[in-house]
């Protein structure tokens, strides 16, 4: 199946079995000194065994003084040995691997002890970072060459050169960041001098038949005087002459809202960058790799079939399911666990200092590939799962796969819970499909699901299970203010699920994730005048950085107003009253939608009956404490591992 995608390809002396690349993505799994950890090896090998054609290491520092701790590095000979273990493991598993050589420029600031190198003077908070000297430029160029030499010695099959995302080579290339008045600034040819010198240094230190792949932005986003696609095409032709064999066409940068294209969330269309790759391929005649939310086999195959690219990157698609490639090739499309672009575990997890390494909403086993997390039980048990949200269905499926007998009871008339409701918001259809996929998986496994049947003491006594999992979810929080029970007041969940229809001038109370998405839904589907009222000093405060960029841009484009630092005090006839800095203010409101959060559903009856009957009761997800789906699914895995 998908013969175009799974057709082999030769890059110089490298033969690849298919057209799928697992790209360089930060994991926080590297050793602090830059060595490859066993955790990274296990993580990568799982994707090799899953059928991927080419695995790239995550970005790998080439210059010691500017190498941030906790990132892979290959700036010293002492690091070669761990890279050898990495390449040997990949090869022993039947794969091919490349190393992505990198100088991070401003990204090095993630480590306060690392030197920050910038193409031109750059204002950074209160300080100005001075531009890199010509002498230091030569030092970094030599570092790229030496890193390439070490990469060959370590056994890599190809080399990647990162010339995008505002890292140092890209920062030199773009006039948006480079206003130097020496030989490295001014014209495109001058600005291209540093990255071209790096390319030549790499090429000089690797075999003639070893492919050199360059990652480059298709054009600059949100940059004044930034690179156009015409500039990039001219540069790629220069790079081709300098020794680059293939182009990895990315997009985005880390210092503007263009970050949304670097790690594109669910808000960005699938394959949004493919046409750029197609044009660059056509006008350069080079082997070209398409990147950007390519997370279904059908889309990936069509890109190859239509000649828009020679290969495709499937990154987060393989985070969500390490068996993505094998399942696609075998036509097991319903079994693929698809990435939904939530960014919660991969990007938000990477930037959160409290998270040890990246994870995935749909795959909590990410980073735990060597753990015997879901071992077969020594004793087959009957397990009753209360609640058919994604947490309940996930734990039910995991327990069934372990060999237990599982039955699920759900109080409402549908499965999916709040995950299904969230999927009704604008731009989130993939989340809706994911919610539905949990039910389909449960059906494939033969799990009984009883709808419109709440779990109570009588039901537990009737079923007499060996263990119970309480996953009954949460309910909206109520604010005890005058007018809360008026006929013109609705819950955000009822609005998103189509059970209630706001009208006239509409005010949404609550500017968190649910509130802003509900406001967007109302504007898009009912075209009402919508105002968000939030008691904190900003809206969308609980969104990750990249999703927040997208949502805030959408609110602005849709003319949805936001009143912040405003606490609801009462709901009147045609208005609401808010307290702002001790003063009462009034906002016109024909209808009011409450989106102020949720609290765990009461599960005392379930818990007490289990205690009475000496049945172990496990509580997961929102039933423990209202949070996000990523928590529910992770706890489902933890509980499944215990039973």
**Residue at 375 is within a domain:** no
In the prediction, which pLDDT does 353 show? Answer: 92
Q: CA–CA separation, 199 vs 186, rounded Å?
A: 20
Is there a single domain that holds both residue 411 and residue 494? Answer: no
SS3 state of residue 261: helix
Is there a single domain that holds both residue 173 and residue 301? Answer: yes
In the prediction, which pLDDT does 263 show? Answer: 95
Is there a single domain that holds both residue 452 and residue 551? Answer: no
pLDDT means per 10 residues, the chain with 643 residues, are: 96 97 96 97 98 97 97 98 98 98 96 96 89 98 98 98 97 97 97 98 98 98 96 98 98 95 96 98 98 97 98 98 98 96 95 94 94 79 96 96 96 93 93 94 96 96 96 89 94 95 97 95 96 96 94 95 96 95 94 92 94 96 87 93 91
Q: What is the CATH number of the domain that holds 637?
A: 3.40.50.720
pTM recorded for the entire structure: 0.94
Is there a single domain that holds both residue 592 and residue 609? Answer: no
Is there a single domain that holds both residue 313 and residue 460? Answer: no
Number of independent structural domains in the chain: 3
Write the DSSP assignment of 128-142 as a string of letters.
Answer: EEPPPPHHHHHHHHH
Is there a single domain that holds both residue 329 and residue 406? Answer: no
* Catalytic residue, candidates 43, 167, 184, 347: 167
Is there a single domain that holds both residue 273 and residue 296? Answer: yes
Q: What angle do CA 422, 292, 420 make, to 5 degrees?
A: 10
**Residue at 372 is within a domain:** no
Is there a single domain that holds both residue 40 and residue 130? Answer: yes
SS3 state of residue 160: strand
Backbone angles phi, psi at 315, to 5 degrees: -95, -75
Is there a single domain that holds both residue 119 and residue 257? Answer: yes
Q: What angle do CA 504, 507, 511 make, to 5 degrees?
A: 150
Task: Residue 573: give the domain boundaries.
Answer: 489-596
In the prediction, which pLDDT does 371 show? Answer: 85
Is there a single domain that holds both residue 157 and residue 119? Answer: yes
Is there a single domain that holds both residue 581 and residue 621? Answer: no
Cα-trace Rg, the chain = 27
**Residue at 371 is within a domain:** no
Q: What is the CATH number of the domain that holds 585?
A: 3.50.50.60
End-of-domain residue from the set 596, 617, 634: 596
**Residue at 4 is within a domain:** no
Do you know the residue count of the chain? 643
In the prediction, which pLDDT does 598 show? Answer: 87
Is position 484 annotated as part of the catalytic site? Answer: no
Is there a single domain that holds both residue 169 and residue 268? Answer: yes
**Residue at 358 is within a domain:** no
**Residue at 359 is within a domain:** no
Burial per residue of 383-400, b for 16 or more beta-carbon CB atoms within 10 angstroms, e otherwise: bbbbbbbbbbbbbbbbbb
In the prediction, which pLDDT does 478 show? Answer: 85
> What is the pairing mode between strands 489-491 and 530-533?
unpaired
Write the DSSP assignment of 86-119 as a string of letters.
Answer: HHHHHHHTT--EEEEEE--GGGGGGSTTSPP--S
**Residue at 360 is within a domain:** no
CB 389 within 8 A of CB 621: yes
Count of other CB atoms within 10 angstroms of residue 601: 19
**Residue at 439 is within a domain:** yes
Q: What is the CATH number of the domain that holds 182?
A: 3.20.20.70
Question: 175-179 long-range contacts, Cβ below 8 Å, gap at least 24?
Answer: 175/225, 175/226, 175/227, 176/220, 176/223, 176/224, 176/225, 176/226, 176/227, 177/118, 177/119, 177/120, 177/122, 177/223, 178/119, 178/120, 179/120
């Amino acid at each position: 199946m998908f013969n175009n995608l799974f057709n082999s390809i030769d890059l110089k002396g490298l033969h690849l079995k298919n057209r799928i690349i697992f790209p360089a993505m930060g994991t926080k799994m590297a050793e602090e000194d830059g060595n490859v950890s066993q955790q990274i090896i296990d993580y990568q090998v799982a994707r090799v065994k899953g059928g991927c054609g080419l695995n790239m290491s995550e970005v790998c520092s080439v210059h010691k003084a500017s190498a941030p701790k906790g990132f892979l590095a290959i700036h010293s000979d002492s690091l070669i040995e761990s890279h050898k273990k990495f390449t040997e493991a990949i090869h022993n598993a039947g794969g091919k691997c490349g190393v992505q050589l990198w100088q991070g420029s401003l990204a090095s600031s993630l480590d306060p002890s690392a030197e920050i190198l910038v193409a031109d003077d750059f204002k950074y908070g209160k300080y100005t970072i001075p531009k890199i000297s010509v002498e230091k430029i030569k030092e970094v160029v030599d570092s790229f060459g030496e890193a390439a030499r070490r990469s060959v010695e370590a056994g890599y099959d190809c080399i990647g050169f990162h010339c995008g995302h505002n890292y140092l080579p890209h920062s030199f290339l773009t006039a948006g960041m480079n206003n130097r008045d020496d030989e490295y600034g001014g014209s495109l040819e001058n600005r291209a001098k540093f990255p071209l010198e790096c390319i030549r240094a790499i090429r000089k230190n690797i075999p003639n038949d070893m492919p050199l792949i360059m990652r480059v932005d298709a054009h600059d986003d949100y940059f004044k005087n930034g690179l156009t696609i015409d500039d990039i095409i001219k540069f790629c032709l220069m790079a081709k002459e300098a020794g680059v064999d293939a182009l990895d066409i990315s997009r985005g940068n880390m210092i503007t809202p263009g970050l949304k294209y670097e790690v594109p969330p669910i808000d960005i269309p699938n394959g949004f960058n493919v046409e750029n790759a197609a044009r660059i391929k056509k006008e350069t005649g080079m082997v070209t790799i398409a990147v950007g939310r390519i997370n279904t086999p059908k889309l990936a195959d069509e890109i190859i079939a239509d000649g828009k690219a020679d290969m495709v990157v499937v990154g987060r698609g393989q985070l969500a399911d390490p068996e993505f490639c094998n399942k696609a090739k075998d036509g097991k499309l319903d079994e693929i666990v698809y990435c939904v672009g939530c960014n919660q575990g991969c990007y938000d997890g990477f930037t959160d200092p409290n998270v040890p390494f990246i994870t995935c909403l749909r795959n909590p086993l990410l980073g735990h590939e060597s753990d015997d997390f879901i071992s077969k039980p020594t004793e087959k048990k009957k397990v009753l799962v209360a609640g058919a949200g994604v947490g309940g269905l996930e734990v039910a499926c995991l327990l069934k796969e372990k060999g237990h007998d599982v039955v699920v009871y759900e109080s409402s008339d549908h499965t999916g819970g709040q995950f299904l409701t969230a999927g009704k918001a604008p731009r989130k259809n993939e989340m809706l499909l994911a919610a539905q996929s949990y039910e389909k998986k449960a059906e494939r496994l033969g799990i009984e699901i009883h709808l419109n049947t709440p779990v109570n003491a009588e039901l537990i006594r009737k079923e007499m299970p060996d263990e119970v999992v309480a996953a009954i979810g949460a309910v909206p929080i109520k604010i005890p203010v005058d007018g809360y029970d008026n006929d013109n007041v609705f819950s955000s969940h009822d609005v998103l699920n189509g059970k209630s229809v706001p009208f006239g001038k509409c005010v949404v109370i609550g500017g968190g994730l649910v509130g802003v998405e509900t406001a967007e839904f109302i504007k898009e589907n009912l075209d009402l005048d919508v105002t968000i009222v939030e008691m904190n000093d900003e809206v969308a405060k609980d969104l990750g950085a990249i999703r927040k960029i997208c949502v805030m841009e959408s609110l602005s484009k849709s003319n949805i107003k936001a009143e912040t630092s405003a606490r609801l005090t009462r709901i009147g006839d045609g208005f609401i009253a808010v307290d702002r800095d001790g003063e009462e203010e009034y906002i016109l409101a024909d209808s009011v939608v409450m989106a102020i959060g949720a609290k765990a559903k009461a599960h005392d009856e379930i818990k007490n009956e289990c205690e009475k009957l000496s049945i172990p009761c496990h509580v997961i997800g929102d039933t423990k404490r209202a949070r996000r789906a990523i928590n529910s699914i992770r706890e489902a895995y933890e509980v499944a591992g215990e039973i």
